Amino acid sequence: MTRNLTTILKSKTKCVAISRDLPTTIIGERINPTGRKAVLEALRAGNFDLVRKDALDQAAAGATVLDINAGVPGADEPTLIQHILRNVVDVIDIPLCIDTANPQALAAALSIHEGKALINSVNGEEKSLDAVLPLAREHGAAVIGLCLDGAGIPPTAEARFSVAARIIERATKAGIALEDVIIDPLAMAMSADSYAGRIALDTIQWVVKEFGVNISMGASNISFGMPDRKYINATYIAMAIHAGLTCPITNPLLPEVNVAILAADLSMGRDEYGMGWIKAYRKREKERKVQ
């Protein structure tokens, strides 16, 4: 019998519940300079207007958690991530996902965060487990565990499941509740490996069946190097939701993926009377008329 655990995240006054018994939680990915030159340059210039706009736009488009990444090459990441976080909470009260591989930046962000954050991420390497899990425990945060370790990204679902199981074991031993561990199976580019999509889907199903935990995943790597990427991303995210994905990290401003998530929730029986679908349809119609 599959359990559906619930992860609660909190901002200063808001809370979000992530569960397979609820509609999909969209973690907005746009507050991230990687591959976004305008954001990179603005952050380098100490200008946070775009960050503030990205926060508001993503929430308006359906994100209920915002990922915050301060990965500006050469920057002082602990200071920068605090600036970004302060600017975001200044414009919107919404749970945050602290996205960094730098333990100092993570500690800095958590130290000024009010509520219950999501950490993105820990992985199966000892170094990562040792650095991140105590911080998660100390700050009462939930944590995303990536299915990779010192040997790299395992090439099979079995091996990724093993990494997930190890992260879960170590996290719970470190005093983190099972429901506060979220697993990311790693959806890699199918252009490099025809089975990349399948491996992540199978990993999700195995992890969900065994542990009942929530599942996160980036939704766009999968189509890297392929034509008509938006259709692949939309289809893949719906299949991943069927497999057990509950909180994708994605761009809610992309209509194809957003619509696929809504249709997937409807199909899974998580949108009573289709009210969410119909509401979003009316919003799309209104926007079409404005344009």
Chain positions contacting a copy of itself, by CB under 8 A = 190-191, 194-195, 197-199, 201, 222, 226-228, 231-232, 234-236, 238-239, 241-243, 259-260, 263-264, 266-269, 271-274, 277-278, 281, 284
The residue among 45 and 273 lying less far from a copy of itself, judged by its C-beta, is 273
The residue among 178 and 189 lying less far from a copy of itself, judged by its C-beta, is 189
The residue among 194 and 291 lying less far from a copy of itself, judged by its C-beta, is 194
In three-state form (DSSP H/G/I as H, E/B as E, the rest C), the secondary structure along the chain is: CCCCCCEEEECCCCEEEECCCCCCCCEEEEECCCCCHHHHHHHHCCCCHHHHHHHHHHHHCCCCEEEEECCCCCCCHHHHHHHHHHHHHHHCCCCEEEECCCHHHHHHHHHHCCCECEEEEEECCHHHHHHHHHHHHHHCCEEEEECCECCECCCCHHHHHHHHHHHHHHHHHCCCCHHHEEEECCCCCCCCCCCHHHHHHHHHHHHHHHHCCEEEEECCHHHCCCCCHHHHHHHHHHHHHHHCCCEEEECCCCHHHHHHHHHHHHHCCCCHHHHHHHHHHHHHHHHHHHC
The residue among 11 and 251 lying less far from a copy of itself, judged by its C-beta, is 251
Instruction: Give the shortest CB-65-to-a copy of itself separation in angstroms.
Output: 22
Instruction: Give the shortest CB-216-to-a copy of itself separation in angstroms.
Output: 18
Instruction: Give the shortest CB-211-to-a copy of itself separation in angstroms.
Output: 19
The residue among 34 and 267 lying less far from a copy of itself, judged by its C-beta, is 267
